[in-house]
Amino acid sequence: MEFLFLFLAVGLAAFVVWLTVRIVNRGGRWVKRTAVAMVCLPIVYVLSFGPACWMAASPRVPGSQDGPRIWMRFYFPVGALIHVTHSENSQPLQRWITWGAGKKGRVIVPTDRSGQNWYGFTAE
């Protein structure tokens, strides 16, 4: 698995270098659009995490053991980042995740691809 990530990282770096050289040398319109898309798509992904959490929020019921919604697995890299950096203690992040969850709502964020491990956040 590590080899795959290394291969993808090297491939992405080579693509970025090629794209930069292409922009400098020729400056085609499609090349500039591709560069803008490469910058905008990760930003849109991260910003859409909050609204996705709000849609996945469920009311907090004592004794219930709801797991994360299956479509929230798309956001497992963000959940893994929260887990690794211990960002669950960050108040601004917790407010962004639970802002649209409503009073006493609970948001469950998976931290791995399988959805077996997750973090739960509750609205205050």
The residue extents of the domains of the chain are 2-45, 48-122
Angle at 122 between CA 119 and CA 124, to 5 degrees: 150
Cα–Cα distance for residue pair 49/72, rounded to 1 Å: 9
pLDDT band, very low/low/confident/very high, at 68 (cuts 50, 70, 90): low
Across residues 65-70, what is the average pLDDT?
67
Across residues 110-119, what is the average pLDDT?
82
Helix axes 91-98 and 49-56, enclosed angle (nearest 10):
60
- Give the chain's mean pLDDT: 80
Tell me, what DSSP letter sits at residue 104?
T
Per mean pLDDT, which of 25-34, 48-57, 92-101 is the most reliable? 48-57
Threshold 0.85, pTM exceeds: no
pLDDT of 10 reads 92
Residues found in the chain: 124
